[in-house]
Structure 1
Amino acid sequence: MDRRQSLKWLGGLSAFILPVATPGAAWASDSAGTPLQKSKSEWAALLPKPAYRVLFEEDTERAGSSPLNQEKRDGTFVCAACSLPLFDSSTKYESGTGWPSFWDYLPGAVATRTDFKLIYPRTEYHCVRCGGHQGHVFKDGPQPTGKRYCNNGVALQFVPRAEKLPALRT
């Protein structure tokens, strides 16, 4: 089997074991309103370096490094770049992976696309408003969805329920 045949075989196999991603690189706008457009240099000036690297260079933080992995209070997890609410704490669970994990996201908050960085396709998800990379979704989560949204902690901020959500970044 030559290289081309091998890649074709792997691509066919992935259809049976991996979730289907929303095609395309553009992020659709919905309830979040107009997508927020900023240059990479503008984002770099606004965000701490680790958050910028995860959100806009699609880096991954080290497992177990985020204090949000242990966050158990009632509240909302918002995008660290644009402050769009992404997850409710009621959908957070301990996945044992070392990253904050959720079994569902807030309606209209994320968009997906296929990521081939590890050779085989995975489904990555981004904030629908700013396009900031949050993490990857897998089919090994708890019910009712059976999904695990495995999130980089530096890509999120936690807001306790008793506090007002931050204004969306403009």
Structure 2
Amino acid sequence: MRRTLNALYDGCAWLAAVFMIGVLVMVLLSVLGRQFQFHVPGTDAYAGYAMAAAGFLALAHTLKRNEHIRVTLVLGKLKGRARRGLELWSLSVAVLLSGLFAWFAVRLVWQSLEFNDISTGNDATPLWIPQLAMALGTLVLFIAFVDEWVLEARGQRQRFDGSETHHE
């Protein structure tokens, strides 16, 4: 199960990297278009879609690598059961909020598909397509928070002192 979850987080990170390259391509295409007097419609919109996709798809991987900003002022002062209790409480809130975020992101994709919602730009992109990345990213983030909660409940979660990050 651990290999499958790590593969999921890593796969989303690689997909986020692909979308970052997509941002680069769209920006370069826009710059070159201005330089050589040609226009490719929708480059701004597609750059925005790719940027949002990259951000959402990288969330779970960033969490699992302990790269999210975390305020540990109170947590750092606690030891033993008090620290574990606060960790579990914080992770429970994170599971709840990320679950709600994932639910509404998936619902948004469904509604956009159902209503045939398209972008207002000249590209007229069906909005459910770029929204899929947001839904997938939030769903995988929810899974990552559940994973962290289970690891904490079992006492298997890695501790970081706040000044270090986990790199492989």
TM superposition score normalised by structure 1? 0.20
- CA radius of gyration, larger in: 2
TM superposition score normalised by structure 2? 0.21
